[in-house]
Amino acid sequence: MEYLPTKKSVNQHRDPQWHMDAKLGIFIHWGLFSVPAFAPIEYGDITEIIANHGPQFAMKNHPYAEWYLNSLRTGSKVYQDYHKNTYGEDFKYEQFAEIFKEESQNWNPKEWADLFIKAGAKYCVLTTKHCEGFLMWPSDTENPNHTDYYSKRDLVGELANAVRKVNIKFGVYYIGIWDWSFNTIPITDLTSYAANAITTQEFADYSATHFKELIDKYKPDVLYSDIGYPIKGNAYEIISYYLNKVPDGAVNNRWDKFPKWLKILPKTFLLKKIINWVGKRVVKKKKGLPLSKLKIGDYLTPEYTTTSNISDVKFEVTRGIGRSFGYNKMETEEHYLSEKELIWLFIDIVSKNGNLLLNIGPKADGSVPEIQKNRLLSLGKWIRRNEKGIYATIPWKRAEAIAKQISNNIIFKVRYTASKDGKNLFIFLSEIPDEGKVKIENLTLTIDSEVYIMDDNDKRILTWKKDGDDVVIDIPNIPKNWISLGIACNI
């Protein structure tokens, strides 16, 4: 069908099957911010900082390294001291461009493609322009505020070619209403979050030209907008333009414009205080992704949070392995998800109708930090053993349950997925049990159900029995380095 530049028309598009089935994508935050690669680490992730200290404190001590420029502009002492001591008082942010251009000459896109394959990823999404405004490809439309503010090397095109050679789909991220090379007023709290939006027709035209150029040049499999679409522009025009060229493309949901009343809201001291207090309370009470309606795009995109229930709407959790998206050299092992935490997060998301868009933050030279690389390899190793219960699965009638090791009463969390035909159930335990009997509560299997361990090397049939409304399974000796146990059965 031909899509028209209207909400009604583009909303007829549905999340493509490949994206529904993929389960794991790799997000890549790479840009000028990869040069300083700095953010404070002592206050937790962004939700913890807002909940514990409030939005104003969070903006001055932002854990996202890709927000380095905004954090400097807030007057943050920690950022300004670091910048002055490392680069000098007169060093301007845009001077990072020449350093990045030189460093990124060392990048080998094939190494990324090989790593993504080993991680079990089916697609990746690259930041082609983040809030700093630097372009990651040699665009025909240059930044009007900075000379040569783009990569002479086509980082976007080279990555697209490399990953597609190994059957990984390729997506582009482009920031929407913010561009700190156009607007130098910093985001300092929740009210300035909206006020930072650029409202000129010039900027809307500039963004639309870039979107169309990315679509025409690279035919991305994912079109990912962030922080809304320029207020003077027409998001439906871009989405329809994209879908008419890439009908099987996936479109995220971050195209909504900020309400106009937020932009013109009087910024009295009292009102700002109330808005920031409310924001802090909302974050503090948040228990996970609220199941909401999809207003635009194919899927929801919660950030550093997920849901406690199966979602009727497809969602894609986006987060770093650590507390930042861009590379933060201050982070150490303790600031990253452990192998166990990452694998269980992934299982939990998939069981509830989600994908995980897991971020890496490469260094300026394109090398992936070892901690991040190791986490990806561990996740990929686990997926290969359990892929039957991951790729192309759907949520079961419920996602969560409890299991118990009978010998010592140790409790395990349980998550479920199912095959599309409903004939196979996949059970994931949060721990590797000791050898012996494990009871899974409130589970019914047919008398002839075959139960076996998912393993890429060996299909081990397990004995089991019904115990009232529960099922008791005999678990053999399993290597603890498997981290989480996957069991399959026909139902």
Q: Are 222 and 169 in contact (CB under 8 A)?
A: yes
Quick one: tokens of 435? 């050898």
Q: Report percent pLDDT > 90 for the chain.
A: 83
Helix (H, G, I), strand (E, B) or coil at 308: coil
| Arithmetic mean of pLDDT over the chain | 92
Residue 369 predicted with pLDDT over 50 = yes
Residue 160 identity (one-letter amino acid) = A
Q: How far apart are CA 227 and CA 197, in angstroms?
A: 9
Closest among 445, 448, 414, 447 to 431, alpha carbons compared: 414
- Per residue in 461-483, pLDDT (tens digit) is 999 999 999 999 999 999 999 99
The CA-CA-CA angle for residues 424, 425, 428, to 5°, reads 145
User: Is the model's pLDDT at 261 over the cut of 60?
Assistant: no
Here the tokens at position 365 are: 């030279």
Q: Look up residue 384 and give its two tokens.
A: 């290969």
CB 56 within 8 A of CB 189: yes
CB environment 169-191: b (16+ within 10 A), e (fewer): bbbbbbbbbbbbbebeebbbbbb
> How does pLDDT run across 449-465, given as a tens digit for each residue?
999 999 876 678 999 99
CA nearest 132: which of 61, 181, 202, 204?
A: 181
Single pTM value for the model: 0.94
* Alpha carbons 399 and 405: distance in angstroms, whole number: 20
pLDDT at 302: 92
Counting other chains too, the contacts that 232-235 makes at CB distance below 8 Å and 24 or more residues apart are 232/199, 232/200, 232/201, 232/203, 232/204, 233/204, 233/205, 233/207, 233/208, 234/5, 234/208, 235/296
Q: Quick one: tokens of 411?
A: 């409790």
Which pLDDT score is estimated for 263?
53
pLDDT at 277 over 50: no
Checking DSSP bridges between strand 250-251 and strand 222-226, what pairing results, if any?
Answer: parallel
- Find out whether 224 and 205 touch, Cβ atoms under 8 Å: no
Q: Alpha-carbon torsion 146, 151, 155, 157, what sign?
A: positive
Distance CA 382, CA 86 (A): 41
pLDDT confidence of 16, banded at 50, 70, 90? very high
* Tokens 């040069």, residue located: 35
Residue 256 has pLDDT above 90, yes or no: no
Tell me: the pLDDT tens digits for 315-335?
999 999 999 999 999 999 999
Q: Which of 417, 472, 476, 481 is nearest to 443 (CA)?
A: 472
Rounded to an integer, the average pLDDT of 30-49 is 93
Kindly list the structural domains of the chain, giving each domain's residue range(s) and its CATH number in brackets, ordered by start: 7-389 (3.20.20.80), 400-490 (2.60.40.1180)
